Structure 1
Amino acid sequence: MTHDVLPSHAGGSIDEGPLVAPPPGASETFDVEPPYVPGPEALAALDAFADRFLDREQSWLHFNQRVLELAEDASLPLLERARFLAIFASNLDEFFMVRVAGLKRRIAAGVAVRSASGHLPKEVLETIWAGTRELMDRHAAVFRDQIIPALREEGIELVRWADLDEDEQKYCKKLFKARIFPVLTPLAVDPAHPFPYISGLSLNLAVVVRHPKTGKEHFARVKVPPIFDRFVALGNQRFVPLEDVIGEHLKKLFPGMEVLKVHTFRVTRNEDLEVEEDDAENLLAALEKELLRRKFGPPVRLEVEESMDPEVLALLVSELGISEAEVFDLPGPLDLRGLHDIADLDRDDLKYDAFVPSTNRQLAPVESAGAVDVFKAMRRGDVLLHHPYDSFSTSVQRFIEQAAADPHVLAIKQTLYRTSGDSPIVDALIDAAEAGKQVMALVEIKARFDESNNIRWARKLEHAGVHVVYGLVGLKTHCKLAMVVRDEPDGIRRYTHIGTGNYNPKTARLYEDFGLLTADEAIGEDVAHLFNNLSGFSNKAKYAELLVAPDSVRDGLVEQIHGEVAHHLAGRPARIRLKANSVVDEGVIDALYLASQAGVPVQLLVRGICALRPGVPGLSETVEVRSVLGRFLEHSRVFSFENGGAPVAWIGSADMMHRNLDRRVEALVRLPGEAQVAKVRDLMDLAFAPDTSAWELDGDGAWTHNGGSVDMQAELIAAQRRKR
C-alpha cells in the first residue's frame, strides 16, 4: 500500500474525475478474457449526460426524510416511532455539525468549486436551508400532532408546566431545590460580563430580568444541565421537560429581580475535526488539543422556540454572529433527542417484539458446556455471520475471548474503530497481553465523535502492555480486521475475522452487518501483510483475496464492473448488485452507468446517500435503486457479481465515497465459498423482491415508498427463528 493520498477537500464533494478504465495489468485479478475497456464512443455517450450526478447533500436530506416517514407510520409500534423522532434529531445535528459546517468553511475560504452535481457551495447551502426548515417543521408537527396524542391514549403523557397539578408542582419544586438548583450557573450580560460562550448542542434559557427599583433590564443565560434526564419523571408515566422546571423557579437564581421573559434556545456548532498529523510529533496530544478547539467552533444553526421575543432573538443573532437563514423557530420543546428515554420505557406492548440473536448454526454444533469452540468450527469451514440475526457475543466476541484464554494462541492483532464503553473485546485484549501473548491493537483515535473514548481505550490498552498503533499518517483506519495466530500440531495457523461493522457488542444488536470467520490460508496471509503494513513499513499494494483502499478498492470494483460488461457482451450471465450505506464516488458511478448503457442489470441497495440517477433513458435504464430502513440499521457493504455464471461476492468496510476510497484504509474480502456467496445473493433477492417494503429512487432524485407488504428485517428474524 502506498501512503500517497488525494488532497482532502472539505466535505468530500469535489469532482475528482471519473475513473472508467482498469489500471494496467489489473485484469489478471478476475480472469476476464478479454477485459472490457470502454472506448471513446462509450465515454462520449457518458459525458453527454453532464448532470448525471445527484447532489449528495440533498440525497442525505432525503434519507433523513425517510427516517421521519418511519416516525409518521402509524403501523409501527408507538415507542419505536418516538425513537425514530429522536434518531431524526440526532442525524440532523450531525449533518449541521459536519456537512453544513464544511460548506460554510469552503465558502469562507473562497473555495467556490462546483460539486459533481454542478452546484456551487453557496447554492447547495441555500437549498439546505429550505429543505431542513421544511423537515424540522414536519418533525415538530409529527411530535405535537401524532406522537403526543397517541402516547396520551396509552397512558404516557408528555406535558408542559401549565398542565401539572398541585402535587406535581410541589414535587418539582423539591426536586429543583435538592438536585437542580445546586448545579445551575446563571451568566449575566452587562459591561462587566461579556456575552457567554454557548456550547454546541446545549439547551439554554434566555432570561430577561428587571431590577425593581431602577427598572433596568438585564439579559442572562442559564444552561440546562445535560447530566439530568431530558424529561423529568412525575410518576404514573407523566413527564415534563427539564427546562420547564428550571424556568418556573428562576427567582431562586435571580433573587430580588423580576423575571420578565424566559425563552429556550439551542446552538449547533462546527464540530468536525482538522488534525494536522504531519506537523505533530504526538498524534494523541494533537487530537486532544483539537477536541478542545471543537468546543469553540463557529455556530451553524440557532434553534429557538417560536414564541421567543423579537428583541431577545435579535440579541442572540447579533452575539452569535449568524444569519437569519440559520435561525429555526420551532414549537417547543426543542432537542427531541431525549425521546430515546421515552422510547426506553418498560412498555413492551408499544415496542417491536422481543428479539434474541441466536448462535450461528455452524458454531452451535461444536458447543460444549455452553461454550462455542470457534477455532474448531473455523477449521471445519468458513463461517459467514449476519448480525444481528447471528449472535455477536457467541461468534466474534467469543473468538477474541477464546483467543485470549487459549494457551496455544501466540498473537492477536485487531483494528478498533468504535467500541462500547464497557467493551468485552478490549478486556479480552488486555487479558491476552497480561497472559504474555503478543497483542497489537490498531486504535483509530480519529473516529468522528468517538475520539475521546478511543483515546481512553488506547491508553488503557498501552498500560496493559498491548502494542497500540494509530495507523498511517493522512489516513483513517476504518477496516474491520482481527487475526489470531495459533500454534497447532501441524504448524502455525492464522484465524481471521473480516467484517463490515465495528467490534462493538452493543451496536451489533442494532446494526445489520456481515462478518467472515475463516482459517483460509490465502486470506490469512493477506490480513497478516495488511497488519504489517499498518504497524510498520510496507509497500505491498496487491493482495490475493483482498481489495484494500486507498490503493485497490475503487480500481478493483471498477474492473469487476467492467468484467460484467464483458460477460454480457459475450452472452454470458451478467448482473451487478451492490449494498452500501452511501454511493457517491463518481468513478464507481460512471462504471455502473457504462454497464447499464451496455445492458447489464444493476441493483443498488443504499441506506443513505445515492448520487446515481437510475432509470434515465440512454444512461441508466437498467439500474434499480432501493433503500430499506427499519428496526435495524442496514450497515453492511456487499458487492455481488454474476461473473459469467460463476458468482462472486465481496464484503467489507468501504462505502462508495471519496473519503472511504481515497482517505481511509478499507478492506474488502472475496467470500471464499459458494455457500457464503449464496447467502449474500439470497439477501439481495429478498431486498429486490417485488413485494418487499422499500423506498425506490427515481431519476430526479425523489424517493417513493413502493407499498410493499413484506418487511425484509422481519422476514430475516422469522427465518432465523425457524432455524433454531
Structure 2
Amino acid sequence: MTTDSAFDDDRTASDFDDDFEPFDIEGAPDLPAERYLDRELSWLAFNKRVLELAEDPTLPVLERANFLAIFASNLDEFFMVRVAGLKRRIITGLAVPTNVGRSPVDVLSDISKQAHELQNRHAAVYQDLVKPALAEGGIQVVTFDSLGADARDHLRDYFSSQIFPVLMPLAVDPAHPFPYISGLSLNLSVRVRNSRTGRQEFARVKVPQMLPRFVRVDPTESIENARYITLEDLIANHLGDLFPGMEILEHHVFRVTRNEDVEVEEDETENLIKALEKELLRRRFGPPIRLEVSDDMDDVTLGLLVRELDVTEQEVYRLPAPLDLGGLFDLSRLDRPELHYPTHVPVTAAQLQPSDSNLRADIFKAVSRRDVLLHHPYESFATSVQAFLEQAAADPDVLAIKQTLYRTSGDSPIVEALIDAAESGKQVLALVEIKARFDEQANITWARKLEKAGVHVVYGLVGLKTHCKLALVIRQEKGTLRHYSHIGTGNYNPKTSRIYEDLGLLTADDQVGKDLTRLFNELSGYAIEKKFKRLLVAPLHLRKGLLKLIANEIANAKAGKPAGIRVKVNSIVDEAIIDALYRASNAGVKVEVWVRGICSLRPGVPGLSENITVRSILGRYLEHSRIFSVVNGGDPQIYIGSADMMHRNLDRRVEALVRLTDPGHIADVSANFDRAMDDRTSSWHLEGDGTWTRHAVDESGRPLEDLQSSLMAEIGPRSRSGLRR
C-alpha cells in the first residue's frame, strides 16, 4: 500500500481545517478579473456537444435520435431550473452578479440568443439529417396529408377507439377562462368559427402524455420498413370530431416550460416531507419561462398566448414542427438492433467472480482479501454492489446495514434488500434524500415504504442535501465486528448503472469503516464529526482539503519535485478551486481537467493557465465519475467520490471522497486518465475563450480512439481472465 505523505501518522484528513487558510479569492491581485467562463453559457456549450453527436453520421441512427431527445430533455431542465433561477433573482430584487460579475438580466439575454440558435439548429438536425437517415433505415416519419386512403381509414379507426375518448377540448370564452397550461405539455391551439353566428372562438386541446408520441401508421407493415405519424398530427387532422358543427380555421402546436425548481424553507419545527409535498404541489403552477410555438402559428393566436401566459418576446421560440423532440425517446427504443450501438453486457469484476461457475461469489470473502475497485458500466453493478447488499440482507452474521439513497430506480432491488434486511431483524438505517431534484416524489414514496418495513429512515441534515454514495455493512466474524464499505461516484440505481460511467470502492478496511460509522452518526444524530482518516467530507473540510493538496503540489513544483494535478468532474465552477489551479499552473504544475458539463475555468491563457488542459468526452455512456489526483512528489494520491467542484457540492451538500490505497487501483485510474487526455483519443478540447472543438479524426481523416469502446473491448476479456490489477 502507498504511504500517505500528505498527512503525518497522527493527523487526519480533517486536520486540513485547523492549519490552512483558503486562497483569498476576493483579493487575488495576481489573477485577472475576467478569469472565469460564464457557467450558464458553458452549460449551453455542453448541450451543443450533445447535439454534435446527433449530427455525427458515423453513429447508429437510433442513437442519433436518442441524442436529439437527450438535448431536448437537457434544455427543458436547464430552463426549468437555471433560467427560472435567474428570473426569480430579478423578480425578487436579488439580482446579484453571476459568477462572471454580470447581471442576471445580461446573462438571460445571452442565454436567449444562444438558446434560440441551438433550438433552431436542433430542429434542422432532425429535419435535414436524422429524419432522412431514419427513413433510409426503414423508419419513416410521415404526415397525415401524405397518406393514402387506406392508411387514413385505419388511423381514423385508431383515433376513434384509442385517442378520442381521452381528449379534453377546452373552449375560451366569457364562460370559460383561459385554461391552465401545464409545464412541458404539448398542446394544440384551435381557432374555430361558429357556423350559425359567424363568431370566432379559441380552444385548446392537450396532447395526452400517456399515449405513444409516434403512432404506427399500419401495424401490419414490417418493422424493418414502418411508417410513423406524430400524435399531434393525427389529432389535428380529426379536430372536426372534437368540434362538430364548427369550422376549423387555424390549428397550431405550442408548448410551455414553467419554473419547476423546488425551494423548501427548512423549518426545524415542520415535518420536512409535508413541507416538500406542499412545495411539489406549487411546482405545477410555476410561472412560464419559455413558450415554444410551431413556426406557422398566426399572429392572432400567438398574441393571445403571449398575453394570457404573460411571456416576453424573448421567451418565445418559433420552431418547425414537430415540437418537443424529446418524443424521439420513443423511436430510439425501437427494437432495431442494427440501428443501435452493439449490445454490451457488463462483466463481473475479476475479484468477484465465483470459483465455480454454478455458484454465486461470496462478496464478503472476496472483499476481505483485497479492496475491489469497480468500473461501471463495464463491470456489472448487479453482480457487485447489488449482490453485496443482497448478500448482506440474507447473511445471518450481518448485524447492521447503513446506506444513503439519493436517486434509485422505480423497482429498486437495493431498496428491497434493505426491506428484507429489516424484516429479518437486522438494524437498517437508510438516509433518503427526499430533496433530490425531480425525484422528490419517488423518494418520498420509497421513504414511506422503508419506514413501514421497520427501516430507520432519516432525511439528513437541515439545510444540506446528502449527495454522498455510501453503504456500510457490519458483520460479526469470529467474535469480532468487521466493517464492509462501499463508496461510489454514482447513485444506487441499477438502471442508470448501465448507462452512467462510475467508479466504486468495495473495502473491508477498518479505517474506512470507522470513518463511515462516524459519518452516518453525524447524518442520523447530532454529532459534529471531523475525525476522518481516509475520507474528505463536505461541507466542513472537503474544499479546504483539496486546496491543501493543490498547495502541496505548488510547493513540490517550486522545490523541483514531481508535481501534477488531475481532476475529473461533471462540472467545475467553484472559484476557490479554479483560482488554486491557476496558481498551480503559474507555478509550473501540469493541470489536466476532464469535465463532462460546465467548466468555468479558462485553459491555456498566457500568464494565467498555460499549463492547464481541459478535455470533454461524451458518447454512449454518461461520464459520471469524480476523481481528484495529485502526483505528490512521486507518491500519487487519488480520491474518488460524489463531489463536483461546485458551490452546492462543497458548501450545501454532504459529499465524500475516499482515498485509494491499492497500487493497482491507482495505476488503473491513472492509465485511464492518460488515455482520456491523449491527443489520439476522440474528445472535445476547450480553448481559453470558452470555445469547444471536437477532435474525432486525425490529420489523415482516420477516426481517433473512442475511449468507451476501447474500455468495453478490454475490460471484458481482462475480467474474464482474472487479469485485473
- In the TM superposition, 1:642-657 aligns within 5 A as 642-657=631-646
Distance 1:401 1:526 in 2: 23
Q: Which residue of 1 aligns with 2:571?
A: 582
- In the TM superposition, 1:283-362 aligns within 5 A as 283-362=272-351
Distance 2:695 2:192 in 1: 55
Q: Which runs of 5+ in 1 are unaligned?
A: 1-21
Q: Which residue of 2 aligns with 1:221?
A: 204
What is the Cα deviation at residue 39 of structure 1?
9.4
What is the Cα deviation at residue 369 of structure 1?
3.1
Q: Deviations over 1:58-98 (max 9, x none)?
A: 00000000000000011111111110000000000000000
Residue 687 in structure 1 maps to residue 676 in structure 2: yes
Q: Deviations over 1:635-665 (max 9, x none)?
A: 0000111010000100000000111111111
Distance 1:37 1:484 in 2: 36
What is the Cα deviation at residue 409 of structure 1?
0.5
Distance 1:298 1:31, change over 3 A: closer
Distance 1:240 1:564, change over 3 A: same
Amino acid across the alignment from 1:199: S
- Verify the 8 A CA contact 1:607 1:634 in the aligned structure 2: yes
Greater mean deviation of Cα atoms: 487-496 or 194-203: 487-496
Q: Which residue of 1 aligns with 2:369?
A: 380
Q: Which residue of 1 aligns with 2:172?
A: 189
Q: Deviations over 1:182-237 (max 9, x none)?
A: 11111111111111000000000001111101000111111000000111112332
What is the Cα deviation at residue 715 of structure 1?
0.9
SS at match of 1:523: helix
Greater mean deviation of Cα atoms: 408-417 or 703-712: 703-712
Q: Which residue of 1 aligns with 2:118?
A: 135
Distance 2:426 2:590 in 1: 50
Residue 363 in structure 1 maps to residue 325 in structure 2: no
Q: How many residues are aligned here?
A: 699
Q: Which residue of 1 aligns with 2:56?
A: 73
- Verify the 8 A CA contact 2:539 2:650 in the aligned structure 1: yes
Amino acid across the alignment from 2:325: L
Q: Which residue of 1 aligns with 2:84?
A: 101
Greater mean deviation of Cα atoms: 489-498 or 194-203: 489-498
Q: Which residue of 2 aligns with 1:503?
A: 492
Residue 609 in structure 1 maps to residue 636 in structure 2: no
Match of 2:191 among 186, 198, 208: 208
Match of 1:88 among 53, 71, 91: 71
What is the Cα deviation at residue 367 of structure 1?
5.6
Match of 2:716 among 717, 721, 724: 721
What is the Cα deviation at residue 338 of structure 1?
1.3
What is the Cα deviation at residue 263 of structure 1?
0.6
Q: Which residue of 1 aligns with 2:157?
A: 174
- Verify the 8 A CA contact 1:546 1:667 in the aligned structure 2: yes
What is the Cα deviation at residue 171 of structure 1?
1.6
What is the Cα deviation at residue 673 of structure 1?
1.5
Q: Which runs of 5+ in 2 are unaligned?
A: 1-5, 698-703, 721-725
Distance 2:513 2:204 in 1: 58
- Verify the 8 A CA contact 1:404 1:431 in the aligned structure 2: yes
Q: Deviations over 1:214-273 (max 9, x none)?
A: 000111111000000111112332110001111111122112211111110000000000
- Verify the 8 A CA contact 1:26 1:559 in the aligned structure 2: no
Distance 1:233 1:603 in 2: 49
User: So what's the TM-score if we normalise by structure 2?
Assistant: 0.94
Amino acid across the alignment from 1:212: S
Distance 2:658 2:22 in 1: 26
Distance 2:560 2:605 in 1: 24
Distance 2:661 2:154 in 1: 63
SS at match of 2:35: coil
SS at match of 1:371: coil
- Verify the 8 A CA contact 2:22 2:544 in the aligned structure 1: no
Distance 1:528 1:96, change over 3 A: same
Distance 1:615 1:543, change over 3 A: same
Q: Which residue of 2 aligns with 1:5?
A: none
- In the TM superposition, 1:280-679 aligns within 5 A as 281-366=270-355, 369-679=358-668
Distance 1:366 1:413, change over 3 A: farther
Residue 699 in structure 1 maps to residue 688 in structure 2: yes
User: So what's the TM-score if we normalise by structure 1?
Assistant: 0.94
SS at match of 2:351: coil
Q: Deviations over 1:672-715 (max 9, x none)?
A: 22111111111101101120000010110100012351101011
SS at match of 1:278: coil
Distance 2:640 2:98 in 1: 29
Q: Which residue of 1 aligns with 2:723?
A: none
Distance 2:49 2:526 in 1: 45
Match of 1:54 among 37, 40, 45: 37
- Verify the 8 A CA contact 1:513 1:636 in the aligned structure 2: yes
Distance 2:515 2:336 in 1: 49
Q: Which residue of 1 aligns with 2:46?
A: 63
Amino acid across the alignment from 2:191: V
- Verify the 8 A CA contact 2:12 2:532 in the aligned structure 1: no
Distance 2:31 2:130 in 1: 48
Distance 2:384 2:520 in 1: 22
SS at match of 2:267: helix
Distance 2:505 2:494 in 1: 16
Amino acid across the alignment from 1:519: A
Distance 2:715 2:347 in 1: 8
Greater mean deviation of Cα atoms: 278-287 or 210-219: 278-287
Amino acid across the alignment from 1:704: T
SS at match of 2:36: coil
- Verify the 8 A CA contact 2:535 2:656 in the aligned structure 1: yes
Q: Which residue of 2 aligns with 1:268?
A: 257
Q: Deviations over 1:284-313 (max 9, x none)?
A: 111111111000000000000000011000
Distance 1:46 1:648, change over 3 A: farther
- Verify the 8 A CA contact 2:373 2:503 in the aligned structure 1: yes
- In the TM superposition, 1:155-166 aligns within 5 A as 155-166=138-149
- Verify the 8 A CA contact 2:573 2:600 in the aligned structure 1: yes
Distance 2:500 2:326 in 1: 19
Greater mean deviation of Cα atoms: 572-581 or 703-712: 703-712
Amino acid across the alignment from 2:638: A
- Verify the 8 A CA contact 1:46 1:594 in the aligned structure 2: no
Distance 2:10 2:510 in 1: 23
Amino acid across the alignment from 1:684: F
Identity in percent: 62
Distance 1:267 1:684, change over 3 A: same
Q: Which residue of 1 aligns with 2:129?
A: 146
What is the Cα deviation at residue 490 of structure 1?
4.6
- Verify the 8 A CA contact 1:205 1:265 in the aligned structure 2: yes
- Verify the 8 A CA contact 1:46 1:619 in the aligned structure 2: no
Distance 1:485 1:174, change over 3 A: same
RMSD: 2.0
Greater mean deviation of Cα atoms: 225-234 or 43-52: 43-52
- Verify the 8 A CA contact 2:588 2:611 in the aligned structure 1: yes
Q: Deviations over 1:22-65 (max 9, x none)?
A: 99x99974999xx998999x997754400001100000000000
Distance 1:31 1:663, change over 3 A: closer
Distance 2:428 2:590 in 1: 46
